Amino acid sequence: METGTAGWDGEPVWRGLPPGLLRMRRLLLVVWLGLLTVVVGVLLALFAGSAWALAALLPPALLPVGWVLLGRNWRSWRYAERADDLLISRGVLWHEETVVPYGRMQLVEVTSGPVERHFGLASVQLHTAAATTDATIPGLDPAEAERLRDRLAELGEARSAGL
């Protein structure tokens, strides 16, 4: 039975997240900044005067910064299946790497909210005995999320059988 993937040099084979997650997050950024601009513009025009309503143009000015930051954050997410554990790496400024041993997993869930379903995405959430060590892989293709869930559940059962 194959128990993990590794490259030719023994290093784990990292997988990135699909671009659909980046598209979804960028669309949400545009929608939320648009709504914020309208609400701030209307409130300032009503209570402070029409000249102050120009301050509502500040949120759209932040769009290029948010666009770039979302791209960098999306590129930082990756995961790798190893022989005994799953690695999840993320973060641009604060790099975080989570190691979830297969024998410690208690529950593997695939979730997909309405926005994720619209973009054809799903998330895999791993629960362990310790409440603080839960891990999530967001924005996967649903078929990949289900494959990962089934594989992790199978490996979890095999690794915890000796406990």
- From the CB of residue 102, how many other CB atoms can be counted at a distance below 10 Å? 24
Q: What percent of the chain has pLDDT over 90?
A: 56
Give the mean model confidence (pLDDT) for residues 56-84. 92
Two structure tokens written together for 1: 């039975």
Question: Into which CATH architecture does domain 77-159 fall?
Answer: Roll (2.30)
pLDDT of 76 above 50: yes
pLDDT of residue 18: 92
The pLDDT mean for the chain works out to: 87
pTM exceeds 0.75, yes or no: yes
Two structure tokens written together for 72: 């960098």
Q: How far is CA 104 from CA 109, 135, 152, 163, in A?
A: 15, 12, 11, 10
pLDDT of residue 58: 87
Closest CA to 111 of 70, 154, 149, 151: 149
For 5-61, write each residue's pLDDT tens digit: 555 566 888 999 999 999 999 999 999 999 999 999 999 988 988 888 888 888 889
Give the mean model confidence (pLDDT) for residues 72-91. 92
How far is residue 112's CA from residue 61's CA, in Å, rounded to a whole number? 31
